[in-house]
Amino acid sequence: MKFKEKLKEKVEIQREEVTKLLKDYGDVKIGDITIAQVIGGMRGLKVLVTDISYLDPFEGIRYRGYTVDEVLEKLPKPKGAEMPYDEAQFYLLMTGDIPTEEEVREVIDIFKEKRKVPNYVYRVLDSMPREARPDVMLAVAVGTMQQESVFAKAYAENKITKQNAWEYMFEDVLNLLPKIPMIAAYIYRLKYKNNEQIPQNPDLDFGGNFAYMMGIDKPYDDFSRLYFILLSDHESGNVSAHTTHLVASAWADAYYSLAAGINGLSGPLHGGATQEALKWFQELLKKLNKIPTKQELEQFCWDTLNAGQVIPGYGHAVLRKTDPRFVAQLEFGEKHLPDDPLFQLVSLLYEVAPDILTKHGKAKNPWPNCDNITGTIQAYYGVNQYEFYPALFDISRSMGVLSNITWDRGLGYPIERPKSVTIEMLKSISRQD
Ligand code: CMX
């Protein structure tokens, strides 16, 4: 497999670099820690390492050094499609290189070969309560497949060394990732379409086949490709990425680690914000029974803030400008659904919310993030069951977190184990200051 050979070459080079960095410069300080950071969710602490993506507060995300616009422009696309292959993004995240047509073709073929989901997974999903949330079902499906892990089997047979661990992880990742959109589409139709399932289309790619199995016409395939690329990685510190990395750091396999990451993504302050945003817009429309004027929208924002709630899809722990992932979706919407009332509402909110959040004076970032707009576009294509949105986010995020844990093993990163202090200790340190 050329894909694996390329990765192997890169892993070996970087492993040497990391070993040298540790040996020669291990004691060099890269920052200080304040009491505010310890109490405040470690905001801004540089304590994680990844080359797969980097989030600049003012520029936004770069995947392997490429901006959102560059990725959308440079990655190979299916014939006649507007958006690139998700398989190409996965290749980029894994190797750091923009793939050629031939290179992406290899990944597409591997994914097609491996995407068949074992029947027992469907039986487990079918037997779950109808009220179970889609992302819970996805995490259960991933956990159920843990018995397939080649990493876990090899570990039990004492075959794993620090040198070869990444190869088993990589094999698990290639077995697991292509199944995620298949399972998510199955869950969608099980829950919301009377379990009338649409079999996969063997001619289609990751995003295209997902749209096909959802039963939604073009250009939903392109929106799926776009969305899965955009949310695939956002550095290591966000909850889903960090959870996956943390669990894998104890040498749990990809199945355990991804299931944990899916659970980590669910909260309303993280991946759950996609659903909260559409809910917020729908509540506004229900309350007014019409599309609001600018003044009415401003008032609804203030009502939300005065009730002590957040405006979902605004603010960010790291970003300090409009999220380029929001902009890419906005551009898609301007092209494909400019007259949709809900889409117009998102655009109107973008005009008023930053000023209001600035006047409110709490949020460090008054600009929208990726989650504010996704639901509007999904709803336009018929996916208005907003509790499904975190599962959509999971499909995308799987690409980045699974790339990260492959590299974690490749570079021999150890188990993660930060140190705790007590409040008494912090009080005592503050008295010495
Ligand atoms: N609306 C109202 N208040 C907000 C706000 C928003 N959109 N964003 C931040 N604030 C408030 C915080 O709640 C906090 O208030 P308190 O001091 O009373 O606790 C204050 O502003 C300072 O917060 P911050 O330092 O700017 O933001 P954090 O790093 O603590 O949190 C985030 C970041 C994303 C959780 C927060 O902006 C938020 O809750 N946004 C709404 C939910 C959302 O869109 N989440 C999705 C983020 C992207 C993702 O992970 O998918």
CATH code where residue 235 lies: 1.10.580.10
Shared domain for 219 and 367, answered yes or no, is no
* Predicted local confidence at residue 215, as pLDDT: 98
CA distance 224 to 230: 10
Residue 309 lies in a domain: yes
* pLDDT above 80: residue 433: no
Shared domain for 225 and 314, answered yes or no, is no
* pLDDT above 80: residue 113: yes
Q: What is the mean pLDDT of the chain?
A: 97
Shared domain for 324 and 349, answered yes or no, is yes
Give the per-residue SS3 of 173-187: HHHHCCHHHHHHHHH
Domain stops at, among 267, 294, 328 = 267
Shared domain for 368 and 298, answered yes or no, is yes
How many angstroms separate the alpha carbon of residue 314 from the centre of ligand 1? Answer: 7
- Report how many domains make up the chain: 2
CB 221 within 8 A of CB 208: yes
Angle in degrees, CA 203, 206, 210, rounded to 5? 90
Shared domain for 245 and 113, answered yes or no, is yes
Domain stops at, among 362, 380, 398 = 380
Shared domain for 339 and 224, answered yes or no, is no
CATH of the domain at 306: 1.10.230.10
* pLDDT above 80: residue 368: yes
Beta bridge partners of 67: 62
205, 316, 336, 394: the catalytic one is 316
Q: Is 273 near ligand 1, meaning CB less than 6 Å away?
A: yes
Q: Is 369 near ligand 1, meaning CB less than 6 Å away?
A: yes
Mutate to test the pocket of ligand 1, among 274, 362, 367 (most ligand atoms within 8 A of CB): 362
Q: By CB neighbour count within 10 A (0-12 exposed, 13-18 middle, 19+ buried), where does 254 fall?
A: buried
* Predicted local confidence at residue 1, as pLDDT: 86
Share of the chain above pLDDT 90, in %: 98
Q: Is 312 near ligand 1, meaning CB less than 6 Å away?
A: yes
The pLDDT-based confidence of 432 (bands split at 50, 70, 90) is: confident
* pLDDT above 90: residue 369: yes
Shared domain for 202 and 237, answered yes or no, is yes
CB 229 within 8 A of CB 71: yes
The greatest distance separating any two alpha carbons of the chain, rounded to the nearest whole angstrom, comes to 67
Condensed to tens digits (0 to 9), the pLDDT of residues 184-204 reads 999 999 999 999 999 999 999
CA distance 51 to 60: 15
Share of the chain above pLDDT 70, in %: 100
Beta bridge partners of 368: 314
Q: Which residue has the tokens 């398989």?
A: 87
Shared domain for 316 and 355, answered yes or no, is yes
* Predicted local confidence at residue 67, as pLDDT: 98
Mean pLDDT, residues 91-100 taken together: 98
How many angstroms separate the alpha carbon of residue 316 from the centre of ligand 1? Answer: 6
Domain stops at, among 353, 380, 407 = 380
Q: Is the pTM of this model over 0.90?
A: yes
How many angstroms separate the alpha carbon of residue 279 from the centre of ligand 1? Answer: 17
* pLDDT above 90: residue 398: yes
Q: Which residue has the tokens 């002590």?
A: 308
Condensed to tens digits (0 to 9), the pLDDT of residues 328-354 reads 999 999 999 999 999 999 999 999 999
Torsion, CA 35, CA 38, CA 39, CA 41, rounded to 10: 140
- Is 270 an active-site residue? yes
User: Can you give the residue range of the structural domain that contains 304?
Assistant: 273-380
Shared domain for 144 and 212, answered yes or no, is yes
Shared domain for 178 and 137, answered yes or no, is yes
How many angstroms separate the alpha carbon of residue 323 from the centre of ligand 1? Answer: 14
Angle in degrees, CA 244, 249, 255, rounded to 5? 50
Residue 236 lies in a domain: yes
Residue 42 lies in a domain: no
Shared domain for 245 and 333, answered yes or no, is no
